[in-house]
Amino acid sequence: MDKKLNLFNILDKIEDYFSPKIIGEVNDVYIKLAKINGDKIPWHNHENEDEMFYILDGSLLFEIENEPSFMMNTGDMFIVKKGINHRVTSTEECSVLLIENKLTKHTGSVKSEITKSIAQQKL
């Protein structure tokens, strides 16, 4: 049987920023944890997949193309719908829970210095 996981205990062990870690699978989606600190995530979209962000700790500036940007704080959730150009940045460490389709590339079709393969996202 799989075990229960405490998300904050796992976060304590994550040292890399911009590097999502897969912590579980629910049908066709991955559950991931990530820490964001800075502005290294490029503008990107996921052509065919929605993506959920839930803020576990901290604040994240959410930018959506042609929309007002907005700040997400602890307890906030936002779902980026497929095809929508977006970017997230933070000025201090922010911990997020992500729900992404297993096929989703975390920086979309954009390759950047922070882009990780699914294999690199395994805990």
What does the alpha-carbon distance between residue 62 and residue 60 come to, in Å, rounded to a whole number? 6
What does the alpha-carbon distance between residue 52 and residue 70 come to, in Å, rounded to a whole number? 15
Backbone region of residue 108 per phi and psi (left: phi > 0; alpha: psi in -120 to 50; beta: other values): left
C-beta closer to its own copies: residue 59 or 115: 59
- Residue 115 amino acid letter: T
C-beta closer to its own copies: residue 4 or 15: 4
What does the alpha-carbon distance between residue 17 and residue 112 come to, in Å, rounded to a whole number? 14
> From the CB of 47, what's the least distance to its own copies, in Å?
12
> From the CB of 5, what's the least distance to its own copies, in Å?
5
> From the CB of 73, what's the least distance to its own copies, in Å?
8
> From the CB of 113, what's the least distance to its own copies, in Å?
27
C-beta closer to its own copies: residue 23 or 114: 23
What does the alpha-carbon distance between residue 109 and residue 123 come to, in Å, rounded to a whole number? 23
Contacting positions for its own copies (CB under 8 A) = 1-9, 23-29, 31, 49-52, 54, 62, 64, 67, 70, 72-73, 75-79, 81, 84, 97, 99-101
